[in-house]
């Protein structure tokens, strides 16, 4: 049994999935690899995610120390940017591997089995 941030996990893989699991977390992290993005930029890139879900996923990732939220208040309008923390950057090789495997799946199945929307 493993305990991280007050949560218990039965194995190492469940620790990983507890932090980055879910439909949108890896997508959010993947888009933050190259540069910090504002909420509206993330929303535009991630087609199909609701505002509520995106907000909750960002909050979870921030609480787990994977991303940071920076608020700029020097001049209106308020600007908020999300970026990977140093801890979050340790996920970059894993995120690339997940993306590469997705490409492999798309390229190695027939058109009837997998299609790009």
Confidence (pLDDT) at 108: 86
pLDDT digits (tens, 9 = 90+) for 48-100: 999 999 999 999 999 999 999 999 888 788 889 999 999 999 999 999 999 99
Secondary structure percentages of the chain, helix, strand, coil, to 5: 50, 15, 35
pTM of the model: 0.86
The CATH number of 2-100 is 1.10.10.10
- Nearest-Å Rg of the Cα atoms of the chain is 16
Domain ranges of the chain: 2-100
């Amino acid at each position: 049994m493993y305990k991280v941030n007050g949560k218990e996990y039965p194995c190492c893989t469940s620790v990983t999935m507890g932090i980055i699991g879910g439909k949108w977390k890896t997508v959010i992290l993947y888009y933050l690899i190259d540069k910090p993005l504002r909420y509206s930029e993330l929303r535009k890139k991630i087609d199909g995610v609701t505002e509520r879900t995106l907000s909750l996923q960002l909050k979870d990732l921030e609480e787990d120390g994977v991303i940071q939220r920076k608020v700029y208040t020097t001049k209106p309008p308020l600007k908020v940017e999300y970026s990977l923390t140093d801890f979050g950057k340790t996920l970059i090789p894993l995120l690339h591997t997940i993306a590469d495997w997705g490409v492999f799946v798309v390229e190695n199945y027939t058109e009837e089995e997998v299609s790009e929307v």
